[in-house]
Amino acid sequence: MGQVSGLIKLLSREEMELLHRSALHVLAEVGMRIDHEGALLWLDAAGCDVDMDRRVVRMPPPVVEQAVSRLRSQFVSGTPAGEPGVSAAGYAERMPHRYSAIYFSSMPRRIHTNFEVNAGGFPPFIYDLDGHRRPATLRDVRDSIRLADALDEIDLVGVPCCAAEVPEKLRPVVMAAELVKHTSKLGGIEAWSVRDVEYITRIAEVVAGSQEALRRRPILVGYGEARSPLCLDHNMAAVFIEYIQRGFPQSLDTMPAAGTTAPATSAGTLVLGLAETLGGLTLAYAVREDAVVSIDVNPTLTDMRTLIYPYAGADRLPLVAAALQMLADYYGRPGGCHGGKTDACVPGVQAGVEKALSILFPVLAGAAGVGTLGQLENALTFSFEQLVMDAEIVRYIRRMLQGFVVDEVTTCVEIIKEVGIGGNYLGHLHTARNFRREFWRSELMERYPWEGWQSQPVKGFEAKARAKAKQLIAHHHPEPLSAYQVRAIDEIVEAARRDPWYQ
């Protein structure tokens, strides 16, 4: 098999050990501020040094190492070929996450030629099909979900944009309801409060069919997120703990940025992020010994000209790949990472370069999936046409990584003898039988001589993507739920609207 191989590795075993030891040192000597009394009490009972007045927790290395050991034991293989299995806790092996999926499996890090991609992320703005950037509406949300559902290359769909006219507090609940009504490719979801978790879980139960079915295969699971450096505020701690107590898989994400919220080196940023997510891991097991937990780090390096959090710099891609290697090879947590990102504000050459490289490099480093697609402007803006172009980039990369078959049949010695010297294979039956599966063709990328290109009614990658987006939005209307389920979900949303919490 002429298949692409050769995994990118950035860190030696000694370097991974140093990064881990450094993260342990940070947790033991500096600690984390966790602004949640219950969390502090649980960590105190677990053997941590807790300053209740300052709300600072120092975590001794043996306590953190015990949590790491428990994490590693969770990820077990269910099949002999190293494919995703079922965790010891009995959960489905694949938990949809913010940008990809986490595999509760000992699946080894390798090049996944059919890697998954996610469209989601909750951006508040869209770059619409008329070329205007504006706040997203509820109609935009529905159209974006249906478009992502229509694209075969998209495997998981979060909420590609969030509606500005929905009251801010209600957005997670309303967006979750819209998501499940318009796609069955359910990805992760935002939860901004403990009350959100309650209503989103009720929606998920309707989709899954029962509480037990939802526990077996969790959907619409949110996540906690640390505030770098080394802080976990009350709200995020409460969301994280609520999911843990309900028995859902959970992770504490961190997004340290070198030079602002992390040290101005890639290694220092990675150490800080590892310390934060390992702090969350320790907290999870302090709350519930049988918690099913993952860890995650999404680092970057601050752009010192603008102080933005860049998503697609040449300096960030090795850092993301190194974080992926640490999580998979050192801690035994398979999964995906950020990818398909751009810092460009509009579709164009910069977006295409950054999108392609920020998908390809992590995949070559062993990412099982990347996301989230369709975004511009550091994930603040969603674009319909960009999502279509991103899907085509994914098609391109998947075909490239697929390689080709080398065997007695495909070497074609008899066909070569039959055509002979100076012959032509165009009219041969063998060509007609094989070209569709062997040759890669694109609806959007152009391969014409000048005269043929001039005669095309729609010219250019972006214009063709816009046309395809319009066509799919106009004609693709999935109905993944029954009428009964839709009514039940609408009732849950109305109950949330009446809840004093959301007033």
Q: List, in sequence order, every residue forming a beta bridge with 65; answer none if it has no partner.
A: none
The dihedral sign for the CA sequence 208, 242, 121, 301: negative
Instruction: Please give the pLDDT value at position 36.
Output: 97
Query: Are 286 and 42 a contacting pair, CB within 8 Å?
Result: yes
pLDDT in tens, the chain (503 residues): 566 778 999 999 999 999 999 999 999 999 999 999 999 999 999 999 999 999 999 999 999 999 999 999 887 643 323 334 344 344 446 767 767 777 777 777 889 888 999 998 899 999 999 999 999 999 999 999 999 999 999 999 999 999 999 999 999 999 999 999 999 999 888 899 999 999 999 999 999 999 989 988 888 888 889 999 999 999 999 999 999 999 888 899 999 999 999 999 999 999 999 999 999 999 999 999 989 888 999 999 999 999 999 999 999 999 999 999 999 999 998 888 989 999 999 999 999 999 999 999 999 999 999 988 999 999 999 999 999 999 999 999 999 998 898 999 999 999 999 999 999 999 999 999 999 889 999 989 999 999 999 999 999 999 999 999 999 999 999 999 999 999 999 999 999 999 999 98
Query: How many residues make up the chain in this entry?
Result: 503
**d(Cα 356, Cα 372) in Å, to the nearest integer?**
13
**d(Cα 83, Cα 104) in Å, to the nearest integer?**
11
DSSP character string of 328-373: IIIS---B-EE-S----SSSSHHHHHHHHHHHHHHHHTT-SEEE--
Query: Are 352 and 383 a contacting pair, CB within 8 Å?
Result: no
CATH class of domain segment(s) 13-402? alpha beta
Residue 284's nearest CA partner among 331, 254, 248 is 248
Please give the structure tokens belonging to residue 81. 């070929």
Query: Are 157 and 145 a contacting pair, CB within 8 Å?
Result: yes
Radius of gyration of the chain (CA): 24
Query: Are 484 and 491 a contacting pair, CB within 8 Å?
Result: no
Q: Where are the domains of the chain?
A: 13-402
In the chain the first and final C-alpha atoms are separated, in Å, by: 61
Q: Is 26 helix (H, G, I), strand (E, B) or coil?
A: helix
498 CA to centre of own chain: 33
Query: Are 64 and 47 a contacting pair, CB within 8 Å?
Result: no
Residue 92's nearest CA partner among 221, 184, 252, 281 is 221
Would you report the helix, strand and coil content of the chain in percent, each value rounded to 5? 45, 10, 45
**d(Cα 195, Cα 120) in Å, to the nearest integer?**
22
Q: List, in sequence order, every residue forming a beta bridge with 14; answer none if it has no partner.
A: none
Ranges assigned E (strand) in 315-472: 337-338, 369-371, 375-376, 381-383
Residue with tokens 């960009």: 386
Instruction: Please give the pLDDT value at position 105.
Output: 73
User: How would you list the strands of the sheet with 224-225, edge to edge?
Assistant: 224-225, 250-253, 293-295
Residue 334's nearest CA partner among 160, 110, 55 is 110
What letter represents residue 76's amino acid? V
Determine how many CB atoms are found less than 10 A away from the CB of residue 502.
Answer: 19
Please give the structure tokens belonging to residue 123. 């951006």
pTM comes to 0.93
